[in-house]
């Protein structure tokens, strides 16, 4: 009996982004695969990106095993890419993912899909809307619908860390005033520039479904099986569906791998995502 060849090992490399070199890890498709599809992973924000790395690696391997080339990139100012986090800008990250899409295209991959994780889901939809015809579908893991909400949650980390350690208690409004005054703010080891904060505050996924013109899968992980999609997510998904966007949604039981210290795997999420990218239809 002839053994079926598995995917080749991942290939680390650097590619040129708009602001500097980006570290990438390419997972070539298995030789037995006959699909040319490629997928770019659009990472989560700050520490959530690090917490998600194990799941991302497993997903990229699963895609490669299904004959799909997968590319994982550290956007500018993160991971092993050039720059510091304080130098990062939302527009730079859009350009970084655009460079990753172009790199996959030069390797003969197409159509291109995007796997957006948390805030990366919002970024993925912006990129799809800005690159008509280059992306045909997006799978979103626990997407953040509004950047302002993500930034507020992040600011609360600093407020909570400072409780009891200062006579003057910081507030999220005071930190936003610092951004408005042109100051960077350090939170949990990440220094956020006011330009990045302003872009996050204005980022909203709501109108991007129709603008992107692609099929979308909205996947949420919940601790208890049987729980419905969150009300905020349901509003977005229903709005897209009513506007004619080919969107599906699913609830998958599991732990919040992006926010806990222990390495946590959600196998069903990996399987569903692979099937979504491997399918022919919307």
Digit-by-digit pLDDT tens for the chain (282 residues) are 445 567 789 999 999 999 999 999 999 998 865 558 999 999 999 999 999 999 999 999 999 999 999 999 999 999 999 999 999 999 999 999 999 999 999 999 989 999 999 999 999 999 999 988 899 999 999 999 999 999 999 999 888 877 655 545 788 999 999 999 999 999 989 999 999 999 999 999 999 999 999 999 999 999 887 788 889 999 999 999 999 999 999 999 999 999 987 888 999 999 999 999 998 544
Is 175 domain-assigned? no
Residue 86 lies in a domain: yes
Instruction: Tell me if 38 is assigned to some domain.
Output: yes
pTM of the full predicted structure? Answer: 0.93
Is residue 168 in some structural domain? no
Q: Which domain range does residue 264 map to?
A: 11-146+203-278
SS3 150: helix
Q: Is residue 51 part of a domain?
A: yes
Buried b (16+ CB within 10 A) or exposed e, 123-160: bbbbbbbbbeebbbbbbbbbbbbbbbbbbeebbeeeee
Q: What is the CATH number of the domain that holds 87?
A: 3.40.50.1820
Q: How many domains does the chain have?
A: 1
What's the CA gap between 100 and 41, in Å, rounded? Answer: 9
Residue 156 lies in a domain: no
- Asked if 112 contacts 40 with a C-beta cutoff of 8 angstroms, the reply is yes
Rounded-to-integer distance, Cα 211 and Cα 215, Å: 11
Is 254 part of any domain? Answer: yes
53 part of a folded domain: yes
């Amino acid at each position: 009996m002839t053994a079926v060849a598995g995917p080749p090992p991942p290939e680390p490399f650097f590619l040129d982004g708009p602001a500097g070199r980006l570290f990438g890890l390419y997972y070539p498709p298995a030789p037995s695969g006959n699909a040319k599809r490629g997928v770019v992973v659009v990472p989560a924000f700050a520490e959530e990106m690090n917490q998600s790395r194990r799941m991302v690696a497993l997903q990229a391997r699963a895609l490669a095993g299904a004959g799909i080339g997968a590319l994982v990139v550290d956007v500018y100012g993160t991971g092993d890419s050039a720059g510091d986090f304080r130098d990062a800008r939302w527009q730079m990250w859009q350009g970084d993912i655009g460079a990753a899409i172009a790199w996959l295209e030069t390797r003969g991959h197409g159509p291109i899909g995007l796997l957006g994780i948390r805030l990366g889901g919002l970024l993925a939809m912006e990129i799809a809307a800005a690159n008509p015809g280059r992306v045909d579908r997006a799978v979103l893991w626990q997407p953040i619908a509004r950047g302002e909400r993500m930034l507020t949650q992040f600011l609360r980390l600093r407020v909570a860390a400072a409780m009891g350690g200062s006579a003057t208690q910081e507030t999220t409004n005071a930190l936003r005033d610092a951004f408005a005054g042109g100051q960077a703010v350090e939170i949990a080891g990440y220094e956020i520039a006011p330009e990045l904060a302003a872009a996050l505050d204005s980022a909203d996924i709501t109108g991007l479904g129709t603008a992107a013109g692609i099929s979308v899968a909205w996947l949420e992980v919940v601790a208890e099986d049987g729980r419905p999609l969150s009300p905020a997510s349901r509003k977005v998904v229903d709005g897209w569906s009513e506007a004619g966007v080919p969107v599906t949604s699913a609830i998958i039981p599991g732990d919040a791998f992006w926010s806990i210290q222990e390495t946590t795997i959600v196998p069903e999420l990996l399987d569903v995502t692979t099937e979504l990218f491997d399918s022919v239809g919307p």
